[in-house]
Amino acid sequence: MNKKKIVLKIGGSLLFENENKINSKKIIELCNILKNIQNYETIIVIIGGGTIAREYIRFIRNITKNESLSDIIGINVSRVNAQMIISCLEDKAFPSVPKSIEQLSLAVLSGKIIVMGGLQPGQSTTSVALEVAEFINAKEVVILTNVDGIYDKDPIKDKDAKKYDKLNYDELKNLIIEESDYNQAAAGEYRIFDTVSLQILKRSKITVLIGSGIDIKPFKKYWNGNIDSFGTIITEDYN
Ligand code: UTP
């Protein structure tokens, strides 16, 4: 089988339970899947900030009214979360968190799983996943989050929400415009897709799969090559 390059984003929502307790069971489950992977040439995992990043951001924003500084605290928390995943992956992971694409380019030479957090203010870790995929020339980004795909409405608040199995880039853009509100581009508030992510997606024609990290079975089947996609698949055009 041809070895693949893959970028996986693990949303911060999967790492913590109520009151910001670390969700050890979920983290160990995810790390075991990653440790046992065989048929991939390069695996880069991007870790989100989660509710704990949002707590820090809320505090810093209130005190300083500085969005950039708030983003920087979010980036730092995502890097601590990344270091936690590295510890859990033991010798399968590159031991430190690359803080730039340049540092990543060196880490890739190790052949180990690379785990990263944020890069620079003004974007989400989804943008990091796409920037990294563009850099290593990966065709695919997988995003694991707390819902099983993209819906027309918030599925947690609205029981009638309808899930999309497929979306093309234009449909995704329209959804983002419809959903956007005044604080979409504030620290801690970037949606699963922010505008930076959209731009990278368009110019590099990356396929994105978004699905559940809570019910992990569909992702496992996909990761092991037993199914072609899961959750919502986003491509430039439908094939
Ligand atoms: P995310 O909002 O991307 O993490 O990063 P998350 O919790 O996984 O988000 P979901 O699961 O997609 O909702 C946390 C915060 O860190 C800052 C932003 O403020 C972001 O909201 N950040 C992250 C940056 O400023 N730049 C980056 O490159 C990454």
Dump the DSSP string for 103-128. Answer: HHHHHGGG-SBEEE---SSSS-HHHH
User: Mind listing the pLDDT tens digit for each residue in 54-88?
Assistant: 999 999 999 999 999 999 999 999 999 999 999 99
User: Mind listing the pLDDT tens digit for each residue in 150-196?
Assistant: 998 888 888 898 999 999 999 998 888 776 654 456 777 767 788 89
Flag whether pLDDT at 3 surpasses 70.
Answer: no
Ligand 1 pocket check for 190: Cβ under 6 Å: yes
Query: Which residue from 99, 125, 127 has its CB within 8 A of the most atoms of ligand 1, so it is best to mutate?
Result: 125
What's the CA gap between 11 and 13, in Å, rounded?
Answer: 5
Rg over alpha carbons for the chain, rounded to the nearest Å, is: 17
Flag whether pLDDT at 19 surpasses 90.
Answer: no
Predicted pLDDT of residue 182: 46
> How many angstroms does the Cα of residue 67 sit away from the middle of ligand 1?
13
Residue nearest to atom 16 of ligand 1 (CA): 74
Token pair in block for residue 110: 């190790």
Residue 225 pLDDT grade (very low, low, confident, very high; cuts 50, 70, 90)? confident
Dump the DSSP string for 175-212. Answer: HHHHH--TTTTSTT---SS-HHHHHHHHHHT-EEEEEE
Q: Which amino acid is at 174?
A: N
Residue nearest to atom 7 of ligand 1 (CA): 50
What's the CA gap between 50 and 125, in Å, rounded?
Answer: 11
Tell me the percentage of the chain whose pLDDT exceeds 90: 77
Residue nearest to atom 21 of ligand 1 (CA): 188
Token pair in block for residue 121: 């203010």
- Domain boundaries in the chain? 4-235
Residue nearest to atom 15 of ligand 1 (CA): 74
Query: Which residue from 190, 196, 197, 214 has its CB within 8 A of the most atoms of ligand 1, so it is best to mutate?
Result: 190
Q: What is the mean pLDDT of the chain?
A: 92
Ligand 1 pocket check for 98: Cβ under 6 Å: no
Predicted pLDDT of residue 239: 64
Token pair in block for residue 137: 């020339």
Which residue pairs, CB below 8 angstroms and at least 24 apart, start in 21-26?
A: 22/84, 26/213, 26/214
User: Mind listing the pLDDT tens digit for each residue in 100-144?
Assistant: 999 999 999 999 999 999 999 999 999 999 999 999 999 999 999
Task: Give residues with Cβ within 8 angstroms of 217, minimum separation 6.
Answer: none
Predicted pLDDT of residue 219: 95
With contact defined as beta carbons under 8 Å apart, do 47 and 125 qualify?
yes
**Atom of ligand 1 at shortest distance to CA of 74?**
16
What's the CA gap between 48 and 13, in Å, rounded?
Answer: 8
Ligand 1 pocket check for 128: Cβ under 6 Å: yes
List the CATH code of the domain at 4-235.
Answer: 3.40.1160.10
Predicted pLDDT of residue 76: 98
Ligand 1 pocket check for 213: Cβ under 6 Å: no
Ligand 1 pocket check for 42: Cβ under 6 Å: no
> How many angstroms does the Cα of residue 141 sit away from the middle of ligand 1?
16
Q: Which amino acid is at 73?
A: I
- Which segment of 20-29, 39-48, 180-189, 200-209 scores lowest on mean pLDDT? 180-189
Predicted pLDDT of residue 1: 45
